[in-house]
Structure 1
């Protein structure tokens, strides 16, 4: 598939077929995805691929967090179960983690590079018939989640990638043409 077509046709997928994505394939795509610009070559990223029992461990941690936060005691169990079931229905979850530099400039550059890795992965996956959505929910910061997933002090979770074969591909959402958001600064005008 041509790159232009791939970029324009890729979609964030929220519903997946009940079919496993081979871990080996995800590893192959990640091996290519890491070829991004990265100032100082810090390569601060790491990935936690959750399937099977690993996914169940994540789902249990999220269930506990949701039950603790539900103020209505009569809804606690149902709320926790809803989130547990949602996580378990996703074929593969890749948690993207970045080591946070103490240098703010390096940290910002590393965040941008790690985001590029995620985008590369999404394009490579789409090319192979695999969809994903990048989710950044508040509980990624919670100690219960971090402990369950082995997130170390000094690491930032950029998000969970929900990965699988699409059950439904969303319609295209219009984009504002870049020309409407470009300022050409050539030194001849003060506007």
Structure 2
């Protein structure tokens, strides 16, 4: 597929078909996605792929988190079940994990590089008929959820990618043309 068309047609996907995603294909796409600009070649990223029965680890952590947010016991159970079902309905999760550098400039450069990996991966996945949504919900900071992903101190989950074959694809949202947001400076003073 032509790159410009691929960029414009890619969508965030929230509903997936109930079919597994090939782990070898995902690893191949990640191998390509890591070819991003990375100042000083720190390559601070790693990936945690959760699928099959492993999804229950994330679902349990999400469910417990949801239950604690609600004081009404009946609503608490309902919310916990909703979170559990949502997490078990996603065929595959990929945590994009970044080793956090203590130097602010390096941290920012690393974060930008890891974000580029997410974009590369989403385009590569879309080209293969896979959809995803890049999630950055509060759960990424909850210790039980981080433990479920195997993320330790000094690491940041840049995103939890929900991946699968699209069950529903939303219509495109309009974008403001870059020309309307561009300032051009062509004089010294």
TM interval, shorter chain, is over 0.9
Q: Give the secondary structure class of the aligned counterpart of 2:119.
A: helix
Aligned residues: 189
Instruction: Show the counterpart of 2:151.
Output: 151
SS at match of 1:121: helix
Deviation at 1:55, TM superposition (A): 0.9
User: Which whole-Å CA distance do the structure 2 matches of 1:127 and 1:93 have between them?
Assistant: 18
Instruction: Tell me if 1:38 matches 2:44.
Output: no
How far 1:187 sits from its partner (Å)?
1.8
Question: Structure 1 stretches (4+) deviating beyond 3 angstroms?
Answer: none
SS at match of 1:167: strand
* Cα-to-partner distance string for 1:80-105 (whole Å, 9 max, x where unaligned): 11000000000111111100000000
TM-score scaled by structure 2? 0.97
Aligned 1:77-88 pairs, distance under 5 A: 77-88=77-88
Superposed counterparts of 1:118-129, under 5 Å: 118-129=118-129
Give the TM-score, by structure 1 length.
0.96
CA RMSD of aligned residues (A): 1.0
Counting only pairs closer than 5 Å after superposition, residues 1-191 of structure 1 correspond to structure 2 as: 1-187=1-187
Gaps of 5+ in 2: none
C-alpha separation between the residues in 2 aligned to 1:24 and 1:112?
Answer: 26
Write the distance in 2 (CA, Å) between the matches of 1:132 and 1:60: 21
User: Structure 1: where are the runs of 5+ without partners?
Assistant: none
